Amino acid sequence: MPRKKKKQPITIQSSETKILFGIILFVIGLIVLISSFVNQDSPLFDTVTLKLGYSSIVWGIFFIYISFFFLTKSKKFISIKQSVGLFLFSACLSVLLSFWQIEEQLNNPDALRGAGGELGKILHLSMNNVVGNFIEIVIVLILLIISFSLITGTTLEQIRDFLESSVPEEEKESKGLFDIRSFFKKLGEPKDLDINITGDDSHEAKIESEEDVEKRLESILNTEESRESETVQREDADTDEIPVDSVKIPDETEVREPQKPKYTDWVFPSTAILQEPEIQKQNKELYKEKALVIEQTLKSFGIQAKVVQVSVGPTVLRFSLSISVGVKVSRIKNLSNDLALALASQTSSVRIEAPIPGTSYVGVEIPNPTPNFVYTKDMVTRLNREKDKFELPLILGKDITAKTNIKDLAKIPHLLVAGATGTGKSVAINSLLTGLLMTKSPDEVKFIMIDPKMGVEMAIYNGIPHLLNPVITDSESVINALQWSIEEMMRRYRQLKQVRAKKLTEYNKKLGYMAMPYIVIVIDEMADLILTSGIDVETKIQRLAQMGRAVGIHLILATQKPTVNVITGLIKSNIPGRMAFAVATSMDSRVILDESGAETLLGNGDMLYKDQTTPKSLRIQGTYTSTEDSESVIKAIKEQVREEEIEYSEELSEAIEKGVTEETPNGSSERDPEFEKALAVIVATQKASASYLQRKMKIGYNKAARLIDELYEAGAIGPQDGAKPRKVLITSPDQISSSTKGDEVDE
């Protein structure tokens, strides 16, 4: 038979005794806790109130908490530290309630019931008779801080840090309240409890006085001013170059002998020749007024919002708004015109960015009443400090937080510049070229500049050693120049293959010097070329954009006609870098950036920039390069090289001239390879038209049109007569061959 379990004798250590003890303490605590709220006619409650006064509430909580030590096995919800903290807090509260009473009240039982009771009186008089009033209150406050630390688990160091940095408007408050949050969670408070320590809106908007609002905005502006004075840190890190021995290319596979650097003693133009920036003093009071107008306007539409930051850009102000939880961002976006009206904006509407990337704020952007434009001297000075980080530096300008933006064309790797007339495209291109000329020698970068506007914009660059050819102004020569660029690209690929290099930087590193310079092709007005030369220019640009990056050939394309006919989908897919200046409609903005926003820009260099590294467009004030600055830089470059020493690319010149001065219509060596086949087709059918050849020979329209022109020049067909088909003038292909031989005999 199983043995019966012996009953444990009831002792002071037994669980039964502990539970009984706990129940007694719990009842005592409950009586003490409610004694101040029940009818004082009861002798028990009247006695408790007389002994403890209003401090009976916290003493009751203390006794109930102590009862948990006996009632529960788990120590998860109780600790010795918190019980000591509660005891200190209860005692200090008793003293504080009695501290403010005069001597007559301390002897009055009714007065004691409304203060700290007889216990508070005894503790107060005991301390006061020894140390006096001042030291007594100091001791009590210190004990309260210690009790707070023990109850919440917050360290004294955290409390000290909180007291040092307790400015309501600052966002970076003390970290000490973290433990308070966890304490409340432990006590079972709702998880969405939010302690407002940053000045942002909580679930219920707090009413601020005008003086509080003014102090908050003043603090924001001072913080912004100090932020602007800090040096902008870049994420790019300098890489140490490892010296590599020169690689000898075998003679049997040599395509082109690498060119040795010619301008080894090149001196870059000094920044002293550039125009000094003009700086206007900013008006902080005006910014505060604008911030108040924004808050009041949104409030009138039922949206509680506070301005938590003001970013002062060169030409744009951005007010960062913290909005209440539950407010739809679309509501604020739809109020852009109402905000523009309230702010008396210089433009028809303000731009709203929701949210600001990397934050939980909504940005309201308006024109800066006292703009400070971005000058080339500032940008080049910054670039000179870190120019080794960039292969092809592009000085874009400063963003809305006044941070300098410099990009590397070698990483982009192609750039599209678009916008309406007079918004700053040409100035932007001059700025980009100036940045390259100020930091790169002719051995490092070469240019092919195409300006269909008869060289009005780019003629000043003629004569600098960086050019592979004088600025091309004839639209008919552009196709030949682009075709040469494609052939040069393929030659470079063959050279890279010989030394087993994947890109231009590796090739130059293996050879030990700048053997292969970058080539930057700049087209100032692409729309004119697309409309006149059509698919020929488009296909060549596409091929260069697809394959040019690895061999150092990069494109900068500009247009003032941002339509789908000019900026086609294939061109956009291969040119990730976009600079959008002010445009007329949101449709034009979508063509350039694939998103709206450019229609709200201010002009005068205000742009949106986007590339593969920026998922959202950056608003940047473009660099202003005056004509005088460009002329000064070009003059400083030309002074280093005599005109007769400048060597243009003979291959490029020959390719351009060959296309322009081709005058050998009867020379069969210059004819299309399919000329004889086209001749046989028209003789056999006695029909001649481009569309007819296109169908019969299964070729493209452009090639068919060229064959028709060659047949006409050879005398095989007659001239065009309106819509009628051309007349075939021969009956046998030999008639063309015999006439060619006759011409050779005459010569």
Alpha-carbon dihedral of residues 111, 115, 120, 126, nearest 10 degrees? -60
Q: Domain of 505? A: 398-654
The pTM of this model reads 0.58
CATH of the domain at 671: 1.10.10.10
Tell me if 220 is assigned to some domain. no
Question: What per-residue confidence (pLDDT) applies to 40?
Answer: 58
Q: In whole angstroms, give the CA distance from residue 192 to residue 176.
A: 19
Q: Is residue 683 part of a domain?
A: yes
CB burial class (10 A; 0-12, 13-18, 19+) of residue 472? buried
Closest to 610 (Cα-Cα) out of 631, 580, 632: 580
Close Cβ partners of 311 (under 8 Å, ≥ 6 residues apart): 224, 317, 318, 320, 400, 401, 402
Tell which of 592, 626, 654 closes a domain: 654
Is 388 inside a domain boundary? Answer: no
Handedness of CA 15, 18, 23, 24 (dihedral sign): positive
Rounded CA-CA distance 115/121 in Å is 9
Structure tokens that stand for 326 in this block: 């539950």
- Classify the phi-psi angles of 243: left when phi > 0, otherwise alpha if psi is within -120 to 50, otherwise beta: beta
Half-sphere exposure of 45 (CA within 13 A, CB side): 14
Taking the C-alpha atoms of residue 458 and residue 453, their distance in angstroms, rounded to an integer, is 9
Using the Cα atoms of residue 677, residue 682, residue 685 and residue 691 in order, give the sign of their dihedral: positive
CATH assignment of the domain containing 496: 3.40.50.300
What pLDDT was estimated at residue 346? 66
Q: Are residues 626 and 508 in the same domain?
A: yes
**How many Å apart are CA 457 and CA 233, to the nearest integer?**
35
Let me know if residue 162 belongs to a domain: no
Neighbour-count burial for 558-594, b at 16+ CB within 10 Å, e otherwise: bbbbbeeebbbeebbebbbbbbbbbbeeeebbbbbbe
Edge-to-edge order in the sheet of strand 351-353: 305-312, 316-323, 362-367, 351-353
- CA–centroid distance for 399 within its chain: 9
Long-range interactions of 612-615: CB distance < 8 A, separation 24+: 612/412, 612/576, 615/357
Q: Is 744 left (phi over 0), alpha (psi -120 to 50) or beta?
A: alpha
Kindly state the DSSP code that residue 262 receives in the 8-state scheme: S
Report, as ranges of residue numbers, the positions in the chain whose pLDDT lies below 70.
Answer: 1-14, 39-41, 74-77, 103-104, 161, 164-215, 218, 221-257, 346-349, 455, 534, 658-670, 722-723, 737-747
From 367, 388, 419, the end of a domain falls on 367
CA-wise closest residue to 64 among 94, 36, 87: 87
Closest of 1, 9, 57, 2 to residue 30, by C-alpha: 57
The verdict on residue 256 lying in a domain is: no
The phi, psi pair for 592, rounded to 5°, reads -80, -50
Q: Tell whether 465 and 557 lie within a shared domain.
A: yes
Task: Give the C-alpha separation, 693 to 705, whole Å.
Answer: 9
Domain check: are 646 and 675 in the same one?
no
Q: Residue 257: exposed, middle, or buried by beta-carbon count in 10 A (0-12, 13-18, 19+)?
A: exposed
Would you say residue 491 lies in a domain? Answer: yes
- 319 phi and psi angles, rounded to 5 deg: -100, 120
pLDDT value of position 57: 82
Can you tell me the distance from the alpha carbon of 471 to that of 656, in angstroms, rounded to the nearest whole number?
Answer: 12
Of 152, 175, 206, the one marking the end of a domain is: 152
CATH classification at residue 306: 3.30.980.40
Residues 429 and 286 reside in one and the same domain: no
DSSP string, 202-231: -SSPPP--HHHHHHHHHHHHHHHHHHHTSP
Based on the structure, what is the number of domains in the chain? 4
Which tens digits make up the pLDDT trace of 273-282? 999 988 888 8
The reply to whether 615 and 681 lie within a common domain is no
Q: Which pLDDT score is estimated for 632?
A: 94
Kindly state whether residues 458 and 436 are assigned to the same domain.
yes
Q: Is residue 204 part of a domain?
A: no
- 270 assigned to some structural domain: no
Whether residue 479 is found in the same domain as residue 498: yes
pLDDT for 417 equals 95
Q: Tokens 């030659």 sit at which residue? A: 491
Q: Are residues 578 and 614 in the same domain?
A: yes
Q: Are residues 674 and 557 in the same domain?
A: no
Q: Are residues 646 and 671 in the same domain?
A: no
Q: Decide if 681 contacts 497 (C-beta within 8 A).
A: no
| Shared-domain flag, residues 112 and 144 | yes
358 and 416 together in one domain: no
End-to-end Cα distance, the chain: 138
Separation between Cα atoms, residue 721 and residue 714, nearest integer Å: 18
- Longest Cα–Cα distance of the chain, Å, equals 144
**Which spans in 440-474 are helix H?**
none
